[in-house]
Amino acid sequence: MALGIRFGIFPKLFFSMIVVALVPMGAIWYLDYRASFDRLTADLDARLSSQADSAVNIVDAWVDMNLKMLRQNAALDDMTTMEPKKQRPLLRSVLTEYRSTYLVFTVGLDGMNVARSDDVPLIDYKDRVYVQQVLQGGPMGQQVVISRTTGQPALILSTPISSKDRLAGVLAVGSSVTEVSGSVANMRTGRTGYAFLVDETGAVIAHPSARGSLKDHPVLAGLGTERKKKVAFTEAGGRQAVAVAEKTRYGWPVVVQQDASEAYAPLAEANRNALILLGITVVFVALVAAVVARRFARPILNLTKITDNISRGGARRQHRRGAALRRDRRSRAGHRAPQRQRQAGHGPAG
């Protein structure tokens, strides 16, 4: 036999009032939380995106400046001759004028070094990426390398040297990226946010701490072939982070990231305060509901008790009436029994 749980009128009224009060309050809290989350997310996206745009502009401006310088010098008459004696003074003047450069050199169509700004013996450059990019018809070549002199990342840019509308050779410059990398690596977003720059292969150009390659970084994998994208990911230490990645005009990804715990800290604090307020409200509503429900329940309980008493009184009267009738029947039956016996004794003889 199944046992059912029955509630009295007071618990029913109490819980009904609690539900009626808390359901709209819970809905309001959830809608407010979602609105706050969406607003904070939009603000975070805008802030990270703005910093990524700034970093991209810095990098593009720096590369444009170096390419402009390179192309201007590649168009000089003495440079287009591809004669070492005429090229060498031009290469050294570039090295003097642009302090961020540490090497300027030219390469022939066979990939061999023609002239240099330093006194190092000529080198075979035909296997270099930036040389092949130009020899294969590209408007420019680029490659991030680690400088043997400084041990820091350096950028090699190259451009065609043309003579009579035909490719005559390659002019290349090696530049320290300290200036541009410092501008990017020094960007900060709160306590945990920072920016970094890599080339198209994932080689680090600017980073607060990392060196080498970041080609397996989850943000770079998430960016893929897109120009700009927001990525949420988990770092190696298990921390959740959000980032905006954007490619420069030359295909180098700039990443601006921040720990999610810090980025959404205002929302967490606001949500905690809202939950505390909601808890206080629940206690207050429960107290009010208890008082009101008791006042509503008391007359109903009294009426129920009166009705129950009346019902029980009628049942007792009916029970007494039935008992009296049964006693009366027994009494009558007792009087008739002797009478039947006497009638039987005076019956006819045989």
Residue 74: CATH number of its domain: 3.30.450.20
CB 196 within 8 A of CB 253: no
Shared domain for 255 and 200, answered yes or no, is: yes
Question: What is the pLDDT, as a whole number, of residue 59?
Answer: 92
pLDDT digits (tens, 9 = 90+) for 321-340: 666 666 666 666 655 556 55
User: Looking at the domain assignment, is residue 326 inside a domain?
Assistant: no
Distance between CA atoms of residues 140 and 157, nearest Å: 7
Question: What is the pLDDT, as a whole number, of residue 25?
Answer: 75
User: Looking at the domain assignment, is residue 237 inside a domain?
Assistant: yes
Distance between CA atoms of residues 30 and 24, nearest Å: 10
Question: How far is C-alpha 260 from the geometric centre of its chain's CA atoms?
Answer: 7
Question: What is the pLDDT, as a whole number, of residue 298?
Answer: 67
Shared domain for 230 and 259, answered yes or no, is: yes
Which positions ≥6 away from 88 have C-beta within 8 Å? 115, 116, 117
Distance between CA atoms of residues 75 and 326, nearest Å: 135
Instruction: Indicate the number of domains in the chain.
Output: 2
Structural domain of 82: 65-180
Written as six digits, the tokens of 2 are: 């199944």
β-strand partners of 247: 253
Q: What angle do CA 257, 59, 227 make, to 5 degrees?
A: 60
User: Looking at the domain assignment, is residue 248 inside a domain?
Assistant: yes
Shared domain for 140 and 157, answered yes or no, is: yes
Q: What percent of the chain has pLDDT over 70?
A: 79
pLDDT < 50 positions in the chain: 1-2, 4, 349-350
Model's pTM, two decimal places?
0.68
Which of 138, 159, 180 terminates a domain? The answer is: 180
Question: What is the pLDDT, as a whole number, of residue 76?
Answer: 95
**Residue 286: Cβ-neighbour burial (10 angstroms; 0-12, 13-18, 19+):** middle
Question: What is the pLDDT, as a whole number, of residue 266?
Answer: 76
Shared domain for 70 and 171, answered yes or no, is: yes
Which of 180, 202, 226 terminates a domain? The answer is: 180
Question: What is the pLDDT, as a whole number, of residue 287?
Answer: 80
Shared domain for 201 and 55, answered yes or no, is: yes
User: Looking at the domain assignment, is residue 112 inside a domain?
Assistant: yes
Which of 244, 266, 288 terminates a domain? The answer is: 266
Pairing type for strands 240-247 and 141-146 reads: unpaired
Question: 3-state secondary structure string, the chain?
Answer: CCCCCCCCHHHHHHHHHHHHHHHHHHHHHHHHHHHHHHHHHHHHHHHHHHHHHHHHHHHHHHHHHHHHHHHHHHCCHHHHCCCHHHHHHHHHHHHHHCCCEEEEEEECCCCEEEEECCCCCCCECCCCHHHHHHHCCCCCEEEEEECCCCCCEEEEEEEEEEECCEEEEEEEEEEECHHHHHHHHCCEECCCEEEEEECCCCEEEECCCCCCECCCCHHHHHHCCCCEEEEEEECCCCCEEEEEEEECCCCCEEEEEEEHHHHCHHHHHHHHHHHHHHHHHHHHHHHHHHHHHHHHHHHHHHHHHHHHHHHHHHHHHHHHHHHHHHHHHHHHHHHHHHHHHHHHHCCCCC
Question: What is the pLDDT, as a whole number, of residue 4?
Answer: 47
Shared domain for 43 and 81, answered yes or no, is: no
User: Looking at the domain assignment, is residue 302 inside a domain?
Assistant: no
